[in-house]
Amino acid sequence: MKLTCSPEALGHALQVVSRAVSPRTTLPILNNVLLETSPEGLKLTATNLEIGIVNHVDAEISSEGSVTLPAKLLTEFVAQLHDDQLEMELDASTQTLAVKCGPYHDVKIKGIGANEFPPLPAREDGLKLVVEQADLLPAIEQTVVAASSDDGRPVLTGVLTQLEGETMTLAATDGHRLAVKTIKTKSSEGEPAEDGANSVIIPARALQELSRVLKGEGTVEMALGRSRNHVFFSVPGVEVMSRLIEGTYPNYSQVIPEQSNTTITVSTKELLDRTRGVSIFARDSANVVRIKTEAGEISISANTSEVGSSEASVSAEIDGADIQIAFNSRYLLDVLALVGSDKVAMGFNGPLSPGVVKPAGKDDYTYVIMPVRVAM
């Protein structure tokens, strides 16, 4: 293998694929990134056996070949290079890559043979659809925040993805909150799956890695094979694939209240700012903040005996009975930062019933928060 490429382009590609390198593994090869020549130039691949990321770099190929190199070392070294051209040549007999770039004229990196690198799953025939990045990116951000980090319940560490016609619905919950987002798919092809088979659970981490490569412009192709073992996402130059989570996702729809006795419409930014300020005083009391409505205002307060107390108010449109309720401030701050609208509508049915947050005037995003039982 012998080639020339831009160190800047290579550095960016390494940053992308290195996200799939496992920080803790008993297999040394999984600490490496696979470099191999291809018709598109240089192809980089990394995987932790659950998630795989492929990125392509424009390169002038003098001779073909492949090798795996330590991902962390290579990424950190290439990040220091700023000259126009980087030359790489592999000594196949020793699996050593010689690198030249600017003042670095005798750099040698020891690698492991590409034949030891685990192959990524092959695409199968199945369902394909195309989604606008401008729709998918915020949908991912608005839902993965509610996914669980507890490996004790694997299905909750994923995002339930339901595909029906030209609609995609993403749902995630950690048992304390629920986020549901519906977006349109641009087009689809492939044979329809059996009833219910178009619901899959995608690891939240895989969607987070996908969000990092989305630019918000253009489209992303999503593919599901017939076996429903893996999902593939493709954007120009980059492919993210992930193993799907097996299991049955909870029936989240039964948690969403059908109606609300009290509806509040309020400025998202003002409520976010007030809640953020008050929550500083809630850090030592399980992040609990209290919300109270009265005379066209929302009052947000926190009280910790060892630290002190804080209270702030914001004007709001209130329809229905006044309400007093308490929430984990972190859950409330998350949705206010991600809801993506100037105003939010909040619905309540009492101090012990779930609260619902939606962008005002829209039904494509629903966020449900379980209240905290406290003395008001």
The tens digit of pLDDT for each residue in 13-38 reads 999 999 999 878 888 999 999 999 99
Residue 325 lies in a domain: yes
Residue 375 lies in a domain: no
- Interval 197-218: pLDDT, tens: 589 999 999 999 999 999 888 9
| Lowest-confidence region among 82-86, 177-181, 310-314 | 82-86
User: Largest Cα–Cα distance in the chain?
Assistant: 80
285 and 307 co-located in one domain: yes
* Last residue of one domain, picked from the residues 116, 135, 165: 116
Residue 348 lies in a domain: yes
Residue 52 lies in a domain: yes
DSSP one-letter string for 120-165: PPPP-SEEEEEEEHHHHHHHHHHHHTTS---TTSGGGGEEEEEEET
pLDDT of res. 193: 45
- Where in the sequence is the domain holding 16, given as residue range(s)? 2-116
Question: What angle is formed at CA 255 by the lines to CA 139 and CA 222, rounded to 5 degrees?
Answer: 30
Residue 188 lies in a domain: yes
Q: What sign for the dihedral angle of Cα 52, 143, 183, 335?
A: negative
* Last residue of one domain, picked from the residues 219, 253, 287: 253
* Per-residue confidence band for 189, with pLDDT thresholds at 50, 70 and 90: low
226 and 305 co-located in one domain: no
* Last residue of one domain, picked from the residues 193, 227, 253: 253
Query: What is the pLDDT averaged over residues 269-293?
Result: 95
160 and 201 co-located in one domain: yes
179 and 228 co-located in one domain: yes
Percent of residues, the chain, with pLDDT higher than 90: 84
* Per-residue confidence band for 226, with pLDDT thresholds at 50, 70 and 90: confident
Answer yes or no: pTM beyond 0.85.
yes
12 and 92 co-located in one domain: yes
245 and 308 co-located in one domain: no
Residue 374 lies in a domain: no
Average pLDDT, the chain: 93
> Residues near 25 by Cβ (< 8 Å), separated by ≥ 6?
31, 48
Number of residues written out for the chain:
376
Residue 75 lies in a domain: yes
145 and 66 co-located in one domain: no
First-to-last CA distance in the chain? 70
Q: 263 and 320 in contact (C-beta within 8 Å)?
A: yes
d(Cα 75, Cα 58) in Å, to the nearest integer? 17
291 and 242 co-located in one domain: no
316 and 293 co-located in one domain: yes
DSSP one-letter string for 172-236: EE-SSEEEEEEEE-SEEESPPPSTTTTEEEEEHHHHHHHHHH--SSSEEEEEEETT-SEEEEEET
Domain count, the chain: 3
96 and 134 co-located in one domain: no
Q: Is pLDDT of 123 > 90?
A: no
CATH code at position 190? 3.10.150.10
pLDDT of res. 376: 60
Give how far the C-alpha of residue 109 lies from the chain's centroid of Cα atoms, to the nearest Å: 33
Q: Is pLDDT of 284 > 90?
A: no
Q: Is pLDDT of 264 > 80?
A: yes
d(Cα 212, Cα 202) in Å, to the nearest integer? 16
Q: What sign for the dihedral angle of Cα 268, 269, 270, 274?
A: positive
187 and 73 co-located in one domain: no
236 and 354 co-located in one domain: no
Query: What is the pLDDT averaged over residues 337-354?
Result: 96
Q: Name the DSSP letter for residue 281.
A: G
Residue 133 lies in a domain: yes
